[in-house]
A and B are shown apart, each in its own frame.
Chain A
């Protein structure tokens, strides 16, 4: 079998035996690295104090005193601390990265498959998208989207009124807040029931497939359950959903949810840019599956769609996941370009305002780097778990 499996055969792995000498060298090396890091830290602290530059994390609990435009947790310039500002910035980064990853994946997968399509138009359009987006620097794209958003939308006083009481202008998108009434608890319970039923259906279908070899449709019944159950619950209890009224004042629209243009531009730019790379990763993954696999599936009588879903994609995923992880990490790190358009992400708030007001560059930059490292390692960890789940064991 020429298929290369990333999982080595069980029982045949030769683990290097740790001899005592080897162990001693490793422990010694680790100790030396520790000493070097400590010496560097000590040296930095000494030099800072010699230059009369404040050091340490004493600033963490001091009042920040500056305002932040987008705060997902409570924050006020007068009462909140630099530490709080750090969390606000971190959450803003995570929100952009999470949404960017979802959208980039949703856009990238179809485009990657589309480039392989036998349909001439679809293949060319996908190829054109990839080549254009991939070859223009992200910062330029970001500025393009930001200016496209700012320049084309009307001012506050000429806001576009959207259906449902929403407003759109160059300050952002203002949506009425949805207030959920008590019967919504019923709909929530219905969703929980639907999820439970869907899981049960899946387990039963798999077992039945194992026993009889007959496939049971799972996807459509699941969708029907998830949408249908809450709808039935609401139909019985009546629709209690109410939307808050937006108040338009001289300078502001208040009383609802606000999506800032900086946020929108950043998510759009990151999603579109990363999607082009993800599309190429997907294409590479699909092409890596041997043609014989597809031919075998066809000779077994599988329809093209079933062959793609059951034979090609599961094998392609093994190739796709590692580079896909890199793209997710790139997106996360690229989100720090937020600085260019004034979106208050971690770098803008913490390594920008906080650093400058406290003047403690070494501490602030060290914390910022540690945070990016930690998030990146966590994303890698999750993707490795997923990769393990997707891997095909050879027997």
Chain B
């Protein structure tokens, strides 16, 4: 009996003592020898494995950049495909180190999930795709339409807002994954499919006959997409945030994959600070001073990653638009490295 009581007391103590692993994400990643990155898995242009099984995409490149900064090797990433529904839980529970999966930054997500959004990697907005045969040319003509949408997304909420504010009605059919929603749209279950405009371009190409669908001109929401980390580790959120800033700064300074070695030896003080030839900026982040050099060397600057995955060099052909540098009329602007 005494033995039993002791056992129970010990068990309850151990229950009480259980704590979530906090802070020191960087140390954990280094010890493991690889970064674990939550990615989309089905979204062309952002995160999808190619036919050979290599992960490609804009969000994927971002994780490779973090891995390059830490390990000097962009291949030291394990990608975990996550649905919209599972993504935050996977990050909260420590299953992934960083979430880089076309995720919209909102106030409620920032405050109630115990997570931090680092920096806007892509300025997006929600759009609609419709069957060409419907001869619809504007979202305002969609009154009474049936719309397929992925659940657990801001798209699901914006949809209801948009139709309400325009005094229109609609019927939604919601699916757990974007793939299922797209398939239902394709089979004619819905008149329209809605998600972020960038996603529409990618998913339209996955249809059996992309020519039978058109993307409508309306953009009904602001969707600033950002990488996400747990809130309890400032060092780690700094690393992720500055990985993006370094890529943007590199584009601004004209530092690219091809000329990174030259630039490192050049007289440009800003480029030298960025690439670790001057100052101890990398060590302040807990990385090597060559951190940004490694990112550019292995992955490239922001513009290179954009063009390769989303822009003119990709099947998606998305214009830079809001994602052009601030000097060129866009919104991408990074604080200086000094």
Contacts and interface: CB of A to CB of B under 8 A. Distances in A.
B95 interface: no
B180 A340 contact: yes
Interface string B16-59: 10111010000000000000000000000000000000000000
Interface stretch (A50-58, A120-128, A200-208, A311-319): A50-58
Contacts of A43: 15-16, 18
Given A39-B12, A39-B16, A356 B184 contact: no
A53 B187 contact: no
Given A261-B189, A342-B184, A356 B157 contact: no
A355 B92 CA distance: 14
Contacts, number: 138
A114 to B, nearest CB: 36
Interface stretch (A65-73, A176-184, A271-279, A294-302): A65-73
A249 interface: yes
B58 to A, nearest CB: 23
A23 B171 CA distance: 59
A47 B89 contact: no
Contacts of B151: 66, 348, 352-353, 356
A151 B146 contact: no
Interface residues of A, number: 49
A218 interface: no
A358 interface: yes
A150 interface: yes
Contact of A353 (B111, B142, B152, B189): B152
Question: Of B89, B189, B191, which is in contact with the most chain A CB atoms at under 10 Å from its CB?
Answer: B189
B250 to A, nearest CB: 33
A51 B188 contact: no
A340 B180 CA distance: 8
B174 A348 contact: yes
Given A36-B8, A39-B15, 16 more contacts: A42-B16, A51-B92, A51-B230, A51-B231, A53-B92, A54-B112, A65-B161, A66-B172, A66-B174, A147-B187, A150-B188, A249-B144, A251-B143, A262-B173, A355-B85, A356-B151
10 contacts: A47-B20, A52-B114, A53-B114, A68-B172, A68-B174, A155-B188, A251-B144, A252-B144, A342-B174, A342-B181
Given A66-B157, A170-B188, A348-B151, A47 B18 contact: yes
A359 interface: yes
B142 A251 contact: yes
Contacts of B18: 43, 47
Contacts of A361: 89, 92
Interface in B1-20: 8, 11-12, 15-16, 18-20
Contact of A78 (B16, B160, B170, B181): B160
B265 interface: no
Given A50-B22, A150-B187, A359-B109, A66 B160 contact: yes
Contacts of A32: 8
B304 interface: no
Given A53-B113, A66-B160, A359-B109, A251 B15 contact: no
A249 to B, nearest CB: 6
Interface string A361-387: 100000000000000000000000000
A147 B189 CA distance: 10
A358 B12 contact: no
